[in-house]
């Protein structure tokens, strides 16, 4: 398991092996097992409508997990995702009520707010050298505080603009949901960014050993700053879409997405210690988590049983392929 | 010869946490309309002790450079369990207490086994196990409530005042620190926990009992979180499977641990520091009431104070001479 997610260019076969690592394959295999188990319960689990609906729901988690993955590849973590999502959704919704230009600036403004939160995270982690777990936690608390003041003091508009609704719920091409297309575009961008650019290589290098990356001429602080800004932007953008999907932005809308996002990245084979993982794995992880949640809720298992099954399945899958190396002299 | 210097160096972070707490609490009491009375202290202590116990639990694991994101869920699970088991006469209540603590320790041990035998990363293993513990809590208590014959006299014993002055909860917290933390930190296992946090490989190569230390650390974390859950039951006489509570206590415990001078990279800090970190964190939250700030601004104020207090840790960068030292 020395795969770094960066393709090795030695013939076609080696290249494929470089792209698809065992963890990614295992995650896709788990998806098939889940679908098979679901189809024993009800045939409708295999219908194209159901699968397309699941992919649409997965898009939101997928966009959040994209940002989370870049940060995890650095060996950091972004716990500010829940309120970055809420900030994105709520600020976009209230911006859409600002005069005639409102609907135009709604989405960029929501994303820009996410970038601002991400920059604070990045400055704290990269330049002040505070552990990311605690900086992002504090920024999450600040973002929550800002939104409480915002909704309480100014009673802003909370319904989504038509554009937000269109991107989140509409479909333009061959009945494919727009949200899925957006995720595909972001995912394609992330793959190119991680495998074909100096920035992406720097991300993997820093995740493996920051000191060595610095000595090789990478500016780790700038890369970390940009990565956190990206993560904030993607979380906020997912918030914009979620607000469009529910046609309303709400305070706690981001809370159910933090742990699934981390779980999806890790189930996709990325190391939580950084430096290892590829985007295809994250895609598999996102679909896996979404399917698992959906199947458990369709089977009408009470919430308690769902939580237990969710935790157990993640542990079993991790024991299956996410184990670390044993310490040996 | 210069032993006090070593002692000072070793306990500096704990002393800083203690100072932050004293300053925050002094500001709180000085501005409180009722002033420094036994009742004000008792209320503050009862709230602070809850977080202090969970923060101690988190400290155990953080010392070994791990993290336990399930402490809040164990706390909630044991709250639900205690609200059902600690009922009836003294004998039944006692057995119930032991069972609850055993359940908490068992949850912790499961985390430990996942990390040691399963070789999973603590952060992801405890996210998943936390979901299981929360599911169990929800299964025990689908709706908030308590047992009809809940032993409230026993509960009041721990939330009242000793000799009409000292909050009983603080005395209980001190007793827990004395019985759990002091022997642990002075034992070979405790020393190993610190060594694992500094460098697991070196600890292993020195023949220290790495696996035993890790198991003990996670089990103790479960036990301490269970004590916190029991204490919450003492305060409310009831149990509630609240996901919000679980998540908040996990996150606040990390904040308290950092405020208390325990390094998230492992190997330095103490549970005593974490206790003061937790009490300081609570005092900061309470400041708003005495300053008469609109409740609307409370979460923002708390967040900004948290951000500012963790940014203080950045002052160590002033001493860095070589830029390479930044990228440890």
Q: Which of B238, B201, B199, B253 is nearest to B51 (CA)?
A: B253
The answer to whether residue A299 is domain-embedded is no
The answer to whether residue B320 is domain-embedded is no
Using the 8-state DSSP alphabet, how is residue A97 labeled?
Answer: T
ipTM of predicted assembly, 2 dp: 0.83
**Per-residue model confidence (pLDDT) at position A17:** 58
Kindly report, residue by residue over B87-106, the tens digit of the pLDDT: 888 888 889 999 999 999 99
Strand intervals (E) in chain A: none
Q: How far is B316 from chain A (nearest CA, A)?
A: 9
The answer to whether residue B324 is domain-embedded is no
The total of structural domains in chain A comes to 1
The answer to whether residue B323 is domain-embedded is no
User: Looking at beta carbons, which residues of chain A come within 8 Å of B302?
Assistant: 141, 145
The answer to whether residue A118 is domain-embedded is yes
What is the extent of the structural domain holding B27?
A: 11-310
HSE (side-chain half, CA atoms, 13 Å) at B278: 33
Tell me how far CA of residue B96 lies from CA of A3, B199, B297, in angstroms.
50, 40, 41
In chain B, the largest separation of any two C-alpha atoms, in whole Å, equals 65
User: Looking at beta carbons, which residues of chain B come within 8 Å of A139?
Assistant: 303, 307
Whether residue B144 contacts residue B240, with contact meaning beta carbons closer than 8 Å, is answered with yes
Q: How confident is the model at residue A19 (pLDDT cuts 50, 70, 90)?
A: low
Which tokens go with B328? 């440890």
Q: How confident is the model at residue A2 (pLDDT cuts 50, 70, 90)?
A: very low
HSE (side-chain half, CA atoms, 13 Å) at A59: 27
Interchain CB distance below 8 Å, A128 and B303: no
Please indicate if any CB of chain B lies within 8 Å of the CB of A312: yes
Q: How does DSSP assign A257-298, residue by residue?
A: GHHHHHHHHHHTT--TTSS---HHHHHHHHHHHHHHHHHHHH
Interchain CB distance below 8 Å, B210 and A211: no
C-alpha B211/C-alpha B236 separation (Å) is: 38
Res B126 pLDDT > 70: yes
Contacts of B239 (CB under 8 A, 6+ apart): B79, B80, B81, B82, B83, B84, B137, B140, B141, B144, B145, B146, B233
Whether residue A122 contacts residue A228, with contact meaning beta carbons closer than 8 Å, is answered with yes
Kindly report, residue by residue over B18-73, the tens digit of the pLDDT: 888 888 888 888 887 777 777 878 888 888 999 999 999 999 999 999 999 999 99
C-alpha A265/C-alpha B198 separation (Å) is: 28
User: Looking at beta carbons, which residues of chain A come within 8 Å of B303?
Assistant: 138-145
Kindly report, residue by residue over B141-160, the tens digit of the pLDDT: 888 887 777 777 777 777 77
Assign B328 to helix, strand or coil. Answer: coil
Q: Which residue of A has its CA nearest to B251?
A: A137
What is the extent of the structural domain holding A84?
A: 56-287
Kindly report, residue by residue over A72-104, the tens digit of the pLDDT: 999 999 989 999 999 999 998 888 877 777 777
The answer to whether residue A48 is domain-embedded is no
Q: How many residues does chain A have?
A: 329
Interchain CB distance below 8 Å, B297 and A145: yes
**Per-residue model confidence (pLDDT) at position A100:** 74
The total of structural domains in chain B comes to 1
A238 sits in which H/E element: helix A220-246
The answer to whether residue B176 is domain-embedded is yes
For testing contact with chain B, the best of A134, A223, A265 (most B CBs within 10 A): A134
**Per-residue model confidence (pLDDT) at position B197:** 92
Interchain CB distance below 8 Å, B124 and A259: no
Whether residue B83 contacts residue B239, with contact meaning beta carbons closer than 8 Å, is answered with yes
Q: How many residues does chain B have?
A: 328
Phi first, then psi: give them for residue B270, nearest 5 degrees: -150, 160
B167 sits in which H/E element: strand B166-167
Angle at B156 between CA B152 and CA B162, to 5 degrees: 160
For testing contact with chain B, the best of A142, A224, A277, A302 (most B CBs within 10 A): A142
C-alpha B63/C-alpha B110 separation (Å) is: 18
Angle at A147 between CA A145 and CA A149, to 5 degrees: 70
Kindly report, residue by residue over A219-237, the tens digit of the pLDDT: 999 999 999 999 999 999 9
B37 sits in which H/E element: none
3-state DSSP of B53-102:
HHHHHHHHHHHCCCCCCCHHHHHHHHHHHHHHHCECCHHHHHHHHHHHHH
What residues does B166 pair with on adjacent strands? B162
The answer to whether residue A322 is domain-embedded is no
Q: How confident is the model at residue A61 (pLDDT cuts 50, 70, 90)?
A: very high
Mean pLDDT value of segment A151-163: 74
Please indicate if any CB of chain B lies within 8 Å of the CB of A210: yes
pTM of the model: 0.85
The answer to whether residue B170 is domain-embedded is yes
The answer to whether residue A211 is domain-embedded is yes
């Amino acid at each position: 398991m020395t795969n770094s997610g960066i393709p090795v260019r030695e013939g076609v076969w080696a290249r494929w092996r470089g792209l698809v690592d065992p963890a990614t394959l295992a995650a896709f295999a788990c998806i098939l097992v889940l679908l098979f188990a679901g189809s024993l319960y009800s045939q409708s689990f295999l219908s194209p409508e159901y699968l397309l609906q699941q992919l649409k729901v997965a898009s939101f988690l997928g966009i959040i997990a994209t940002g989370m993955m870049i940060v995890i590849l650095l060996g950091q973590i972004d716990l500010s995702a829940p309120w970055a999502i809420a900030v994105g959704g709520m600020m976009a919704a209230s911006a859409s009520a600002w005069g005639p230009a409102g609907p135009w600036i709604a989405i960029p403004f929501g994303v820009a707010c996410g970038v601002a939160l991400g920059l604070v995270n990045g400055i704290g982690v990269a330049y002040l050298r505070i552990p990311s777990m605690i900086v992002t936690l504090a920024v999450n608390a600040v973002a929550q505080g800002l939104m409480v003041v915002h909704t309480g003091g100014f009673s802003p508009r909370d319904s989504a603009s038509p554009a937000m609704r269109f991107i989140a719920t509409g479909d333009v091409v061959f009945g494919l949901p727009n949200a899925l297309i957006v995720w595909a575009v972001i995912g394609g961008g992330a793959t190119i960014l991680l495998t074909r650019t100096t920035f992406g290589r720097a991300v993997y290098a820093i995740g493996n050993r920051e000191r060595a990356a610095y000595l090789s001429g990478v500016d780790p602080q700038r890369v970390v700053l940009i990565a956190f800004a990206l993560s904030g932007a993607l979380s906020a953008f997912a918030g914009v879409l979620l607000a469009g999907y529910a046609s309303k932005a709400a305070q706690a809308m981001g809370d159910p997405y933090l742990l699934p996002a981390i779980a999806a990245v890790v189930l996709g084979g990325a190391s939580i210690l950084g430096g290892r993982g590829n985007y295809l794995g994250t895609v598999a992880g996102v679909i896996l988590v979404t399917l698992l949640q959906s199947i458990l809720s369709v089977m009408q298992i009470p919430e308690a049983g769902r939580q237990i099954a969710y935790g157990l399945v993640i542990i079993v899958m991790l024991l299956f392929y996410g184990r670390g190396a044993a310490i040996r002299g | 010869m210069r032993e006090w210097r070593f002692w000072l160096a070793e306990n500096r972070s704990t002393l800083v946490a203690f100072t932050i707490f004293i300053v925050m609490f002094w500001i709180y009491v000085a501005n409180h309309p009722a002033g420094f009375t036994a009742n004000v202290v008792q209320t503050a202590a009862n709230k602070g002790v809850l977080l202090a116990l969970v923060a101690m639990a988190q400290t155990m694991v953080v010392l070994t450079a791990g993290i336990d994101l399930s402490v809040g869920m164990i706390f909630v699970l044991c709250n639900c369990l205690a609200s059902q088991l600690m009922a009836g006469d003294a004998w039944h209540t006692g057995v119930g207490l032991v069972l609850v603590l055993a359940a908490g320790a068992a949850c912790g041990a499961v985390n430990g086994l996942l990390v040691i035998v399963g070789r999973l990363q603590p952060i992801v293993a405890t996210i998943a196990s936390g979901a299981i513990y929360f599911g169990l809590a929800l299964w025990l208590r689908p709706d908030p409530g308590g047992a009809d014959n809940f032993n409230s006299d026993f509960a009041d014993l721990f939330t009242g005042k000793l000799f009409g002055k000292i909050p009983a909860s603080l005395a209980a917290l001190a007793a827990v620190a004395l019985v759990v933390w002091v022997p642990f930190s002075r034992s070979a296992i405790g020393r190993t926990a610190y060594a694992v946090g500094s460098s697991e490989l070196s600890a292993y190569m020195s023949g220290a009992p790495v696996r035993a230390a890790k198991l003990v650390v996670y089990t103790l974390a479960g036990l301490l979180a269970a004590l916190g859950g029991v204490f919450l039951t003492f305060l409310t006489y009831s149990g509630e499977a609240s996901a919000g509570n679980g998540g908040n206590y996990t996150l606040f415990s990390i904040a308290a641990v950092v405020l208390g001078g325990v390094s998230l990279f492992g190997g330095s800090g103490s549970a005593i520091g974490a206790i003061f970190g937790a009490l300081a964190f609570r005092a900061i939250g309470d400041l708003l009431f005495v300053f008469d700030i609109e409740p609307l601004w409370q979460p923002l104020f708390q967040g900004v104070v948290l951000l500012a207090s963790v940014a203080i840790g950045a002052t160590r960068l002033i001493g860095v001479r070589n830029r390479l030292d930044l990228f440890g």
